[in-house]
A and B are shown apart, each in its own frame.
Chain A
Amino acid sequence: MLVSVYRYNPETDKKPYMKDYQVEIPEGKDLMVLDVLALIKEQDESLTYRRSCREGVCGSDGLNISGKNGLACVTPLSEAVKGGKLVLRPLPGLPVIRDLVIDMSLFYKQYEKIQPYLINDQPAPAIERLQSPEDRAKLDGLYECILCACCSTSCPSFWWNPERFVGPAGLLQAYRFLADSRDTATQDRLANLDDPFSVFRCRGIMNCVNVCPKGLNPTKAIGHIRSMLLHKEI
């Protein structure tokens, strides 16, 4: 099978280029894209990519796979190969450090901005802060995010304004803490999101929903944040 891979080593290459590899795929098996990368690495040790858990939990091998962002470890070739060819590029919109490895600083900066931790100004109870099963259920579909960045790097608003638009991943987490009954900083959190960029750069095109490997829905979370802001103002 033909695999075309984005290559760029800033120390030796003037420009990024696509390099083609012929890879022998074992018969009768639907390999994951990550397995194919391992096979290429056997041919060409200089290829660089991130990976860790190899089962869709750590979120480190997000790639642009034949035009669609996804995790290499959980994307089977049967889904990824188009016209007998597999095309692998780094996640778009962020600077490339080398080959398929991107610099995620801006992504993390936006995540940091939404204060992704529980804030509670009440004295801590002896054992733990309790939450009813109903309130706990509100966090479903939010807490599962693994910060792979597939969503934010598929979002044009994040491409154009990565310094100012929080992006789908960060906003999903922002809502995860807004929705948490144990958090007491709701008003401050909302006040920090009210500017024209942080939330409102979302135009609702739902690229994020389309690519999330965990099946989460950042657009819906952004809608909830908007209505919370609206309720606060009216």
Chain B
Amino acid sequence: MGVSITNFGRSGLHDWMIQRASAVILAVYSVFLLGFFLTHPDLQFSEWKALFGHLGFRIFSLLALISVCAHAWIGLWTISTDYLKATGIRFVFQAAYVIALFVYLVWGIEILWGV
């Protein structure tokens, strides 16, 4: 059984582990943000900016962003190989989400390091 060239990791196990690990990172990130909002009831732009000014939080945000991309890649790849049986349509779909995720990633880095 060969590995498909369009899937994310090196093997099924790899994809599966990345899927789980990225889910945990995203959960922790969401809980952190939720906690931040709850402890800052009337949030000002300066506080928001200070949060993102912190290098640790920027790294954490980048990690979450990469997790979103990896998680979405694996999930969408799975869905496309389940439901899109015509090779041409499947390829166009896969190319579209790979490009979209790449754009989000670069754009996200630009935003994070632009503040």
Q: Which of B4, B13, B83 contacts A230 (CB 8 A)?
A: B13
Q: Please indicate the chain A residues that have their CB under 8 angstroms from the CB of B82 in the complex.
A: 156-157, 160-161
Give B73 Cβ to nearest chain A Cβ, in Å: 12
B12 on interface, CB distance cutoff 8 Å? yes
Interface flags for B57-98 (1: CB within 8 Å of A; 0: not) read: 000000000000000000000100111000000000000000
Contact A200 B12 (CB under 8 A): yes
Interface residues of A in 176-234 (CB under 8 A from B): 192-201, 226, 229-230, 233
Q: Please indicate the chain A residues that have their CB under 8 angstroms from the CB of B12 in the complex.
A: 193-200
Contact A161 B81 (CB under 8 A): yes
Q: Please indicate the chain A residues that have their CB under 8 angstroms from the CB of B13 in the complex.
A: 194, 200, 226, 229-230, 233
Contact A196 B17 (CB under 8 A): no
**CA of A94 to CA of B112 in the docked complex: distance in angstroms?**
51
Q: Which of A161, A195, A201, A226 contacts B11 (CB 8 A)?
A: A195
Contact A192 B1 (CB under 8 A): yes
Contact B83 A196 (CB under 8 A): no
Q: Please indicate the chain A residues that have their CB under 8 angstroms from the CB of B78 in the complex.
A: 201
Contact (A226, B1) CB under 8 Å given A157-B82, A160-B82, A195-B11: no
12 further A-B contacts with Cβ under 8 Å, apart from A195-B12, A233-B13, are A157-B82, A160-B83, A161-B82, A164-B1, A193-B12, A194-B13, A195-B11, A196-B3, A200-B13, A201-B78, A226-B13, A230-B13
| 21 A-B pairs in the complex with CB atoms less than 8 angstroms apart | A156-B82, A157-B82, A161-B81, A161-B82, A164-B1, A192-B1, A193-B12, A194-B11, A195-B12, A196-B3, A196-B4, A196-B7, A196-B11, A196-B15, A198-B12, A199-B12, A200-B12, A200-B16, A226-B13, A226-B16, A230-B13
